[in-house]
Amino acid sequence: MRRALALTAIAAASITFAPAVGAYLKLGTQLSSGLVNVRWKTFPIRYFVTNRDVPGVTAPQLQQAVDRAFATWGAVPNVALSSQFAGFTATGPVGGDGMNVIGFQDRPDLDRVLGATSFTVDTVTGEIVESDIFLNSRFPWSVSAGGDTGRQDVESIALHEIGHLHGLGHSALGETELLAGGGRRVIGAEAIMFPIAFTAGSLNRSLRADDVAGISDVYGNDRFRNATGSIAGRVTKSGAGVLGAHIVAFNPASGKMVGGFTLAGDGTFAIAGLEPGPHVVRVEPLDDGDAGSFLSASLAIDLDFKPAFYNKLVAVPRGGTARSIEVKVEPK
């Protein structure tokens, strides 16, 4: 059995998770006016690539894979995203230098971390002013079009990290199992932003509905908002709100799934970016060994309830929000 490899976002101290309306998880920051989503406001996002080769991947190959990953996010319909390669640099992906740098870095201390994204955020406006991504050169990497057995695919991991760079948090649309030696192995996932990567050698280079809904929620234009709808409501247990519940909205007509979380103690949630039409709503606790991958460990996340379906189909209206629902769950 292969190792489970966790992808984590290392964020600045001011970063937290925004409980505003959102398809899955958006990063947010606490301002005097309240929590706001962190996001880029100036485009194109200019990025540098560290001029450092690692076995199997040269710096130009890294740049090309990163460029494809940026292009994948930029190709989402009805969002305003653009990026521009600014050149190679000897600088590593470290914060505070005013440059957005993506590169390999040797981090033997993070023996389960393939890559990470850090931010510098304007604490007045919530604007991301700098972001850096490192890929851990402790692991073997590949840019092969078909993938290389035993090597992590640069483009797949860059796609995930660039999702963070744009202001997205982790998605919980995936199933994992605990490994005997520690860590978790992913069994299946339906979001690039799921925090655990597929087995080395696998390719995972396309966005899923959950990723598209998330990025569209942050950067979508009016056409996106007019074409999609949202679901909002509460998850409760014995009458009290459930914090940290994972909610999945599934459209049987298209097979698309989009997830969200209850991010407040009253159990409220909202999932945006949904296709119009009836949706199935399913609620589950986060994986008990991995809740910290999604939400702050300081939060009192409730893991003690059974997965459950909402007993109504929720018809999502085009350009609006479905009537608020209450999903009642039971203790395990």
Partner 1 sequence: MIRLRRFAASAGQVRVLAVAGMLAVLPAVASGQPRRGSIEFAGGVVWTGGYSAGSAPANETRNPSGGSTPLTLFQTDSRVLGAIGLDARAGVYLSRRVLVEGLFELRRPVLRTHLSGDFESAASADADVTIASYLFGASLLYDLRAGRAIPFVSGGAGYVREIPEGGDVLTGTEVHAGGGLTYGLTRGHRPLGARLEVQASERSRSVAFDQKRRILASVAAGLTWRF
Binding-residue pattern over the window 165 to 204 for partner 1, x denoting contact by CB under 8 A: --------xxx---------xxxxxx-------xx-xx-x
Contact 16, 35 (CB under 8 A): yes
CA–CA dist 285, 261 (Å, integer): 10
CA–CA dist 325, 280 (Å, integer): 12
Nearest residue (CB) to partner 1, 1 versus 300: 1
- In the complex, minimum distance from the CB of residue 18 to partner 1, in angstroms, rounded to a whole number: 25
Site for partner 1 in 211-250 (CB under 8 A): 248, 250
Number of residues that bind partner 1 (CB under 8 A): 44
Q: Residue 91: which of 105, 81, 80, 101 has the closest Cα?
A: 101
Nearest residue (CB) to partner 1, 39 versus 184: 184
Nearest residue (CB) to partner 1, 71 versus 253: 253
- In the complex, minimum distance from the CB of residue 274 to partner 1, in angstroms, rounded to a whole number: 11
Nearest residue (CB) to partner 1, 60 versus 278: 278
What is the arrangement of strands in the sheet containing 101-105, beginning at the earlier edge strand? Answer: 83-89, 45-50, 101-105, 128-136, 115-121
Nearest residue (CB) to partner 1, 80 versus 315: 315
Site for partner 1 in 101-160 (CB under 8 A): none
Nearest residue (CB) to partner 1, 83 versus 262: 262
- In the complex, minimum distance from the CB of residue 238 to partner 1, in angstroms, rounded to a whole number: 18
CA–CA dist 197, 331 (Å, integer): 30
For residue 292, state whether it binds partner 1 (rule: CB under 8 A): no
> Please, is 92 exposed, middle or buried when counting C-beta atoms within 10 Å of its C-beta (0-12, 13-18, 19+)?
middle
The alpha helices in 166-308, defined as continuous H runs, are 209-219, 222-227
Using the rule CB under 8 A, which residue among 282, 292, 299, 303 binds partner 1? 282
Nearest residue (CB) to partner 1, 43 versus 309: 309
**Stretch of 16-24, 29-37, 82-90, 312-320 contacting partner 1, by CB under 8 A:** 312-320
> Please, is 281 exposed, middle or buried when counting C-beta atoms within 10 Å of its C-beta (0-12, 13-18, 19+)?
buried
**Stretch of 114-122, 127-135, 164-172, 311-319 contacting partner 1, by CB under 8 A:** 311-319
Element (H, E) at 157: helix 154-165
Using the rule CB under 8 A, which residue among 75, 252, 288, 304 binds partner 1? 252
- In the complex, minimum distance from the CB of residue 48 to partner 1, in angstroms, rounded to a whole number: 32
Helix (H, G, I), strand (E, B), or coil: what is residue 65?
helix
- In the complex, minimum distance from the CB of residue 168 to partner 1, in angstroms, rounded to a whole number: 18
Please name the residues in contact with 171: beta carbons below 8 A apart, sequence gap of 6 or more.
24, 25, 191, 192, 193, 194, 195, 210, 211, 214, 259
Q: Which amino acid is at 41?
A: K
- In the complex, minimum distance from the CB of residue 200 to partner 1, in angstroms, rounded to a whole number: 9
Sign of the Cα pseudo-torsion (231, 121, 50, 4, in order): negative
Using the rule CB under 8 A, which residue among 208, 225, 234, 237 binds partner 1? 208
CA–CA dist 287, 281 (Å, integer): 18
- What b-and-e string marks burial along 93-114, b requiring 16 or more CB atoms within 10 Å of the CB? beeeeebbbbbbbebeebebbb
Which residues are near partner 1 by CB under 8 A? 2, 173-175, 185-190, 198-199, 201-202, 204, 208, 248, 250, 252-253, 255, 257, 276-278, 280-282, 284, 306-318, 322-323
